[in-house]
Every structure is written in C-alpha cells, then in structure tokens.
Amino acid sequence: MSYLEDPITTCLSDRVPYSMVRGNHDTGNLFDYYFGVARFNGRSYYGGHYSNTNQNNYVLFDVGEFLYISISLDYNPDIDELNWAKSILQSHSDRRAIIISHSILDNPAGDWTTPGLNIYNAVKKHPNVFLMLCGHMH
C-alpha cells in the first residue's frame, strides 16, 4: 500500500485515495495496527470513521465533475454501524455512493449473506447508492 501512499510514485501530493475493509479472517488488532485511523488522518480524502477504530470508514473523491463517496463497512455491521452509514449517506447525498463490505454475497450464484442483506436493506432507500462491492466469494 505504500506505493499508493507515496507522492513521488503517484505524482499526487495527497496520494491515491483508498480505504480498507476487514474480512472474516482479519480478526484481532492487526487491521487497526496497520490500517487504523492514524494511517488516514490528515489526508484530504479521508472522511472519517465510526467509533474508535477504522473498521467502518469512508473516503471522498472526485473524478472530473463527478463526486463520489465510498463507505467501507466491517464484516458484519451491527445496527449502530448501519445507522452511521445511513447518516453519512444522508450528509453526502450530493455524491454517488459506493458501499464496500467483505461479506455481501456468499457464492458464485450471488446469494446474499445475512450481513449483506442487512447492509442492502439499510442503504437501499438512498438514491445516491449505485454500487456495492464485496470480496467474500467462494
């Protein structure tokens, strides 16, 4: 990730905007040790985080005239984390929204996981959500 964070290799003073999301095998404190709030604080694209970890976070970025927000949610977000995401979507309703979580779909057929369905149901009423991404595919 250091390549994305180097102003010399990216030719960007604030580096390439990115965020991280934790998966079901990323338990313990290592996620926040390597990709915690301290790593992203102070970057112009970093919007913030929920609670005192970076396991739920969001970034803001622009592509030409298009404004985007990307919200990364923990593996199985609880109701408070989902309410936080909904409040972020509402606060940034002028931006096209991408939702990222490790567990949204569970197999090649594209069946919802329980956490994925919960995320979908929480954000589906926000018209700025146009894309959901996940990595928990077998």
When pLDDT is averaged across residues 60-89 and rounded to a whole number, the result is 97
Give me the pLDDT at residue 78, please.
97
Cα separation, 67 vs 65, whole angstroms: 7
Angle of CA points 46, 102, 36, to nearest 5°? 35
pLDDT higher for 113 or 56?
Answer: 56
Report residue 19's pLDDT band, with 50, 70 and 90 as the boundaries: very high
Task: Find, among 126, 127, 48, 138, the residue nearest to 102 by Cα.
Answer: 138
Task: Find, among 38, 41, 50, the residue nearest to 14 by Cα.
Answer: 41
Residues whose CB is less than 8 angstroms from the CB of residue 80 and which lie 6 or more positions away in sequence, other chains included: 50
Residue 86 pLDDT greater than 70, yes or no = yes
pTM, two decimals, is 0.93
Residue 107 pLDDT greater than 90, yes or no = no
Give me the pLDDT at residue 71, please.
98
Please list the alpha-helical segments (H only) found in the chain. 7-10, 30-35, 37-40, 79-91, 114-123
Residue 138 pLDDT greater than 70, yes or no = no
Share of the chain above pLDDT 90, in %: 80
Cα separation, 66 vs 86, whole angstroms: 21
Give me the pLDDT at residue 27, please.
79
